[in-house]
Structure 1
Amino acid sequence: MYLCIAGFFPDGHENDFVQFELDVAPEFNQTVLDLVGWGSLEEGVKYGVVALTATQVRQIENVLGKPIPSDLDICISVFA
């Protein structure tokens, strides 16, 4: 299982396909899980796709050292 961060155009946009996708490297899993309030990947599966706040996005961006677009709605989920 792994964490995936995805970005979509805001509601009302004619294109509802994924515009940004980033798989979280395993060594960052626990830190990112802590930032979203999940205890484990298994717990994250129960939540499905969850929207991240702007604060969470910036925190995750700092942890991963990779930019995440600020003009998209950003979500996180667990994939098996």
Structure 2
Amino acid sequence: MSYFSITGFYPDDRNDDSLQFEMDIKNAEHNEVLAQVTEGKSFCEIGPGELELTNEQLREIGRVLGVEFPVGLEYYIGTCIDA
């Protein structure tokens, strides 16, 4: 099963590339909405790789998921597959 994962890191100027935030979204309906928010496609059309999220996308994703993301991080979204 494929799903989205959101990760957050400190900005490059912090010289700390350790993972600061991680959230897996395994709800199929949420994945469909996030695919539209991030790439304007259905989830099945999303290829592998990561995309940096804009502040606007992050706000919309937070609204959809009911999550407040920690401030001061750079966020990315990418697809994962359960093994």
Same fold (TM over 0.5): yes
The aligned runs of 1:1-80 (5 Å cut-off) are 1-26=2-27, 27-37=29-39, 38-41=41-44, 43-45=46-48, 48-80=49-81
**In structure 2, what is the Cα distance between the partners aligned to 1:53 and 1:28?**
18
Aligned residue for 1:60, secondary structure, equals helix
Residue range with higher mean Cα deviation, 50-59 or 8-17: 8-17
**In structure 2, what is the Cα distance between the partners aligned to 1:30 and 1:70?**
25
**In structure 1, what is the Cα distance between the partners aligned to 2:44 and 2:79?**
7
Deviation of 1:2 (Å): 1.0
Q: Note the residue ranges of structure 2 that are not aligned, 5 or more in a row.
A: none
Q: Could you list the per-position Cα deviations for residues 9-35 of structure 1 after superposition, in whole angstroms to 9, with x for gaps in the alignment?
A: 001222201100011132311111100
Normalized per residue, which structure has more strand?
2
**In structure 1, what is the Cα distance between the partners aligned to 2:44 and 2:80?**
9
Identity of aligned residues (%): 35
RMSD of the TM alignment (CA)? Answer: 1.4
**In structure 2, what is the Cα distance between the partners aligned to 1:44 and 1:8?**
22
TM score, norm. by length of structure 1: 0.87
TM score, norm. by length of structure 2: 0.84
Structure 1 residue identity aligned to 2:36: D
